[in-house]
Structure formats: structure tokens, C-alpha cells
Amino acid sequence: MTASWVLAVDTASPVVGAALRAPDGTSEHWSERVVRGADRRLVPAVAGLLAQADAAGAVIARLGVVVGPGAFTGLRVGVATVLGVATARGVPVVPLSSLRVRAAAAPGHAQVLALLDARKGRVYAGLFDTTGQTPVALADECDAPLAEVLPAAPFVAVGEGALVHADAIAAAGGRVLAGPASTAATAALLAACAPDGDALDAGDVALRYLRAPDAVPPGDLGRRIGDP
């Protein structure tokens, strides 16, 4: 584990958050449910945590940010905010899965199904074993209907998507666990624990949408009016 200060952000769900983790494992965190205008709340919160670190004479050695899956615009608000700090301070960034972060907050289970609501009747899902120090993926993260990602019982389900689909999860033999007080604080913990190779230059950080844009090229492009 890196014995240094870490600042992390998670904006994959409507509850956005930021956290500052000290080398001794204590953390300051902020989170808020924001339906619109997450950037108006997030950037001042991140600036406040930066100021707090600066006032303590701390040097932030690593940033963590949830890069997906999740709501597209929300993810970009968080990533752009972290990239700004990374560019200004020259600090590397650990990109994190929203699903792994949520699974990490439920340690000690052989099967943790992390879910985020993906709308259109689908979920973003990841299945993890959390009996070790950090979550181990048991399957690729995916964008799918809930029925396709439910594992054999017993399992626990976490994440905002689990709350949305609590009845179906219970019917499949799963148990829904409440989320952590701050997913950003969990993100900061995972960023602190990540091996050095996972910390990327800001220019190399990529979002993981798991879903392509809806755009489809129009069929009449390149055809002049009147042409058959």
C-alpha cells in the first residue's frame, strides 16, 4: 500500500463524491445526491479537499477516479475534474471501475454482484470474490438485462442498481447490502492499494463506458436529392 495522500472522485451514480485519504488510512469525504449540475458541487468540493491537503503540508501523490461504467455525462464530470488536478499538479491517476469500488465495500463474500442502473431495462454488472484483500473479478463487467447476470445463490448484491432491483435479487436468492458511507472513500482506498503500474499519466486515462453511443449514420449520406 502506498503511504501517501490520495484524492479520489466517484461520479458514476447520482450520489457523487470526493475523498481525501491520509497515509494513516483516515479520510475526509464529501458526497451529495445531485440530479443535475454535478460539476457545480463537485469541483468546489475537490478544491476544498485540495486546500485542506495543502494547508496540512501534504503532497497528494496519487489520484483515483471512477472511469465507468455509469451515466456518461456524470462519469465525464468526475474524470475531467480529476484530470484537471492531475495536469496542474503532475500527479498520476489510478482509473477505477465503479463496480469494483462498490464490491470492495462488501468484503468477505464469495460472490458479490455489483450493479448500477443502466436504464432501458438493463444494468451495468460485475461479479467479484471479495474474500481476499481486494476484489477479484469472477466475470467480465457488462451491460446486460438483470436476468442475464444473476449468479447462482447464494450471493450478495451491492450498488445503486441493487436497490432498484431488490425484489428480483431476493427472488433469485440474493441479499442486498447497503452501500458504504462514501464510495469515493472506497475509491481512494483502492487507488492507494493499487500497484504502481496501475497509476497512469493523466493523458493516458480512458473512460470505460461499456455502451456505445446511440448514434447511427443516416442512410442517405452521399446521395444527392433526385438520385435513385
Partner 1 sequence: MYVLGIETSCDETAAAVVGPSPDGAGSVVLADVIHSQEVHAEYGGVVPELASRSHAEKVVVTTRAALARAGIERPDVVAATAGPGLLGAVLVGLCYGKSLSAGFGVPFVGVNHLEGHLLSPLLEPDAPAWPFLALVVSGGHTTLYLARALGDYEVLASTVDDAAGEAYDKVSRMLGEGYPGGPILDRMAVGGDPTARELPRPVVRDRDSRAPTLDWSFSGLKTAVRQWLEADRVVSGADVARCFQDAVVDVLVDRVLRAADATGVRALAVSGGVAANSALRARLLDLHEAGRLRVTLPPRSRCTDNGAMIAHAGRLHALAGHLDPLDLGARAQWTPGT
Site of interaction with partner 1 (CB under 8 A): 37, 39-44, 46-47, 50, 54, 72-73, 76-77, 79-89, 202-203, 205-207, 209, 213-215, 217-218, 220-227
Give the nearest distance from C-beta 51 to partner 1 in angstroms: 8
Question: Comparing C-alpha atoms, which of 168, 176, 70 is closest to residue 116?
Answer: 70
Name which of 39 and 117 has its Cβ closer to partner 1: 39
Name which of 148 and 201 has its Cβ closer to partner 1: 201
Give the nearest distance from C-beta 128 to partner 1 in angstroms: 26
- Asked if residues 18 and 6 have their Cβ atoms less than 8 Å apart, the reply is no
Question: Comparing C-alpha atoms, which of 203, 193, 202, 186 is closest to residue 4?
Answer: 193
Give the nearest distance from C-beta 130 to partner 1 in angstroms: 30
Side-chain-side CA neighbours of residue 147 (13 Å): 1
Phi/psi at 87 (nearest 5 deg)?
-65, -45
Give the nearest distance from C-beta 206 to partner 1 in angstroms: 7
Give the whole-angstrom CA distance, residue 101 versus residue 159: 9
Question: Comparing C-alpha atoms, which of 126, 92, 94, 112 is closest to residue 190?
Answer: 94
Name which of 69 and 179 has its Cβ closer to partner 1: 69
Give the nearest distance from C-beta 45 to partner 1 in angstroms: 9
Give the whole-angstrom CA distance, residue 11 versus residue 66: 7
Name which of 146 and 199 has its Cβ closer to partner 1: 199
Name which of 42 and 112 has its Cβ closer to partner 1: 42
Spatial neighbors of 49 by CB under 8 A, at least 6 apart, are: 7, 18, 19, 20, 28, 30
Name which of 35 and 152 has its Cβ closer to partner 1: 35
Give the nearest distance from C-beta 217 to partner 1 in angstroms: 5
